[in-house]
């Protein structure tokens, strides 16, 4: 997990958060062991920004990977942050219910949960795949 934390911390430092000042980093481990990071990128047209998890997922997909084995999210303060609802659904597209999601702060790991715990009874790719 230390390798994921290092990538997420580095990404968080590069976040573009001039409005909220809330810098977030994320790192994903793909099925081949490669790690893909992302940071939040805010926009003056508020709903047009992107979350750190979305950036990491885009990097994963751009590298030709399609499966997330592990995810780590880091926020700036003492409170444990979790992926927003939209990011939970985005993660579900590429991860299984038992995928570990590590929730971190500047001091390190706060808690690990599975995606299924964060998004119970989720709607996933298997719901729309042809039988």
Q: How many CA atoms lie within 13 A of 73 on its CB side?
A: 29
Q: Find out whether 102 and 71 touch, Cβ atoms under 8 Å.
A: yes
Catalytic residue among 53, 70, 79, 93: 53
What length does the chain have? 131
Phi, psi dihedrals of residue 99, rounded to the nearest 5°: -65, 125
Q: 52-62 and 85-94 helices cross at what angle (nearest 10)?
A: 20
Return the H-helix or E-strand segment holding 20: none
| Catalytic site includes residue 70 | no
Catalytic positions, written as ranges:
53
């Amino acid at each position: 997990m230390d390798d994921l934390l290092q990538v997420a911390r580095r990404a968080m430092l590069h976040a573009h958060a001039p409005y909220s000042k809330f810098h977030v980093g994320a790192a994903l481990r793909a099925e081949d062991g490669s790690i893909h990071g992302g940071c939040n990128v805010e926009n003056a047209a508020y709903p047009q920004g992107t979350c750190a998890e979305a950036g990491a997922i885009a990097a994963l997909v751009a590298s030709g990977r399609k499966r997330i084995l592990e995810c780590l999210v880091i926020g700036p303060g003492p409170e444990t942050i979790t992926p927003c609802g939209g990011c939970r659904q985005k993660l579900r597209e590429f991860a299984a219910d038992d995928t570990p999601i590590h929730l971190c702060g500047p001091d390190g790991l706060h808690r690990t949960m599975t995606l299924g715990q964060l998004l119970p009874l989720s709607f996933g790719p298997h719901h729309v795949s042809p039988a």
